[in-house]
Structure 1
Amino acid sequence: MQGRDVRGFNYDGSWGTSGLDLWQHHDHGRMAVEVARGKEYFPGWNVARWWLSHEAFQRDPERFLANFDAGLGLFAEHDILVVPVLFNRWRDAVCDFGGVPLDHIVPDLSSWSLGEDLFRDARAGDGAAEVQVLFRRYLDAVVGDHTRDERIHSWDLCNEPLMGPYVEDPSSNIRSAELRWLTWCYEVCKDIGAQQPLTIGNYPNTTAIRLTEPMSDIISFHPYFMWNGSGNQPHTKTEEGFEAFLDECVAIARDAGKDLVGNETVWGARDDAKHVDVMRYTLGQLVARDIGFTVHALHHSLVADLHRDEYGPVGRPEWLHFIEADGSLRAGHEAFNEFAPPR
């Protein structure tokens, strides 16, 4: 499948508030219902970006792997390919999802990492830092068991890394360490023998996209038109700025000779009609440029930005979900099918 043909959704189950919570209390029955709802409402849905939790794997590897494989089978029943998100670096003050903290990947940020030579090579043998051993064990098990699995579209190594002002500072030891870790993740997955493409889900920042291009077989980014404002991403506030950003991303992918996918997109809104307007504008701009997409996100969930106010904290993105907690479709959201007709 070429990047421009991707039409889908991100998926987090409805029952948890974080990645660890979702996977420690994984509910396959509810997942089956929610995925089936999505396919019924959106029959052209062909790719799901499914968020994993390395923290849950670390606590119960056998159970995690069984649930992961069962989920792949569930998506396959509906002819939906999967992009598993292996790690997460987006941290949210309102309702944190969890993921990899900087002191796990940047040397000398905590007492346990003092003097550690972190993520210099793909090996995790004697003398390797403990965090490197743990991450390698996770990748060996999750990617290693599915290196030729045709149910997997690609592996998203990390969601939204480099999300800080240090991304623009070439002298930053945080930037260099995070890039070293991402390179290590890429090299480990290749060493394991992954046959599927590898990618990195970048927030809307062209510096981050350019920095992660070398360890991305597919360039993935998050084209959010943030109609209600974003202080650290001003180019997303206006249609003119957003469209210029898209054009620059298209040029980056063209110069690299790689596919481009918006694997997280469509900013939220409490008002259903406003959300539909944002969807129509955003997806229209992507389709006009032959950019495939997985909208964030399919279903109501207790995780950040995917629920109404009565279900928990709501931040600036407001409500991004398409399907409500009771299984009904938000008003007007069948408009997604205008951009993803069944094939």
Structure 2
Amino acid sequence: MTERWTPDAAHAWFNAQPWLVGCNFTPSYAINQLEMWQPDSFDLGAIEAELKLAASIGMNAVRVYLHDLLWIQDAPGFLDRVDAFLAKADEYGIRTMLVLFDSCWHPEPALGPQPAPREGVHNSGWVQSPGMPVLADPGAHGRLEDYVKGVVARFAKDERVLSWDIWNEPDNGPEVALCDPRQLKAKADLVVPLLVNAFLWAREMAPIQPLTSGIWLGDWSAPDLLSPIQQAQTGNSDVISFHNYGTAQDFVTRVKWLKAMGRPLMCTEFMARPAGSTFQEILPPAKEHGVGAFCWGLVRGKTQTHLPWDKWEPPAPVANDVWFHDIFDEHGNPHDPAEVEFLRLLNAIDDKMSA
């Protein structure tokens, strides 16, 4: 299928899936996408141990970030490492959503050894893909096309791949994109045509999996309120995805807004405990409304996403030892045993229903 899926085709695909519940997966040894995948640091044993933790709480899906620089570094080896990851995830009954591009955090990524975490800083070493120099250089976009087509072609018929997330948060604010607020409009003007092209490049490979890109900021209650980037995201997605770190009430409100688009929904990022976005609050309405749900984080590690976003203050006082994201420490101990028990019970119910 080289055209955008019809709503009927999207619903047929979605209805054939179990209720999708999972996490955004970065192994604890990696500060970013490059350290996860580069040959000198890729650690399949560590990855397997952490995937086993995900499976132990009933997760059946993970969302995993790739990076365009890995393609030019060693395309065959990179693809083989992705294949090895998919095989391990599949052993534990987990399917993988692969993210191709990302506009969050450091705008000038570089191959090679990655920096050590900065003490006390959430996601201090995460990098954008493509970086700003490449984004601003139309002459470099040919290699981005090669990257998208090469990765998607390799796994286009692979049932272990759940879906393709074309671009993560292409419009995030200056604090997360690490740029001057005055640069955001110029950056958006660069992103929109490349975002649309990336959908087209992926679709040319005729994948059996749906394409998506999750919207995040603003008011989505009417089509004319969407930004140009959000219009490009939703207008090209087979399945609509979104991010939400708000309360259950806010989550449900946004689900109702997005259902008007007539397509299946996946929340590809949620769970910020001090903000009221918890498993106990979000997963029951997600299940009730038939929305796939991926929390941020699994094992506390070098990303330090157990710490809050920089300069972020919770709406009410919380204990200092409450993690922002992540579920287990590096030894496999749960941050909140009651939370893990809730996840196991919730997903055990699903197991009995599908038996």
Instruction: Say which of 321, 343, 350 aligns to 1:336.
Output: 343
Please state if 1:162 is matched with 2:171. yes
Given that 1:204 and 1:224 are in contact with CA atoms closer than 8 Å, whether structure 2 keeps it comes out as no
Report matched runs for 1:188-199 at 5 Å.
188-199=201-212
Instruction: Say which of 136, 139, 143 aligns to 1:134.
Output: 143
What is the RMSD computed on CA atoms of the aligned residues? 3.0
Report matched runs for 1:16-165 at 5 Å.
16-24=30-38, 25-40=41-56, 42=57, 44-91=58-105, 95-99=124-128, 100-106=130-136, 113=137, 118=138, 129=139, 131-164=140-173
Please state if 1:267 is matched with 2:280. no
Displacement after TM superposition at 1:156 (Å): 0.6
Q: Which runs of 5+ in 2 are unaligned?
A: 1-13, 107-120, 221-225, 314-322
Partner of 1:305: 305
Displacement after TM superposition at 1:154 (Å): 0.5
Given that 1:243 and 1:285 are in contact with CA atoms closer than 8 Å, whether structure 2 keeps it comes out as no
Given that 2:280 and 2:339 are in contact with CA atoms closer than 8 Å, whether structure 1 keeps it comes out as no
Q: Which runs of 5+ in 1 are unaligned?
A: 107-112, 119-128, 226-238
Given that 2:64 and 2:96 are in contact with CA atoms closer than 8 Å, whether structure 1 keeps it comes out as yes
Q: How many residues align?
A: 293
Partner of 2:189: 176
3-state SS, counterpart of residue 143 of structure 1: helix
Question: For 1:229-251, what per-residue CA distance to the aligned partner results, in whole angstroms no more than 9, with x for missing partners?
Answer: xxxxxxxxxx4xx6356424433
Partner of 1:230: none
3-state SS, counterpart of residue 208 of structure 2: coil
**TM-score, with length taken from structure 2:** 0.73
Please state if 1:213 is matched with 2:264. no
Q: For the residues of structure 2 that align with 1:305 and 1:297, how far apart are their CA atoms? A: 7
Q: 1:133/1:96 Cα in 2 relative to 1: closer, same or farther (>3 Å)?
A: same
Please state if 1:278 is matched with 2:278. yes
Question: For 1:85-129, what per-residue CA distance to the aligned partner results, in whole angstroms no more than 9, with x for missing partners?
Answer: 1111112685141122344324xxxxxx3xxxx4xxxxxxxxxx2
Amino acid at match of 2:257: A
Amino acid at match of 2:168: N
Partner of 1:231: none
Q: For the residues of structure 2 that align with 1:181 and 1:81, how far apart are their CA atoms? A: 27
**TM-score, with length taken from structure 1:** 0.76
Q: For the residues of structure 2 that align with 1:279 and 1:204, how far apart are their CA atoms? A: 21
3-state SS, counterpart of residue 15 of structure 1: coil
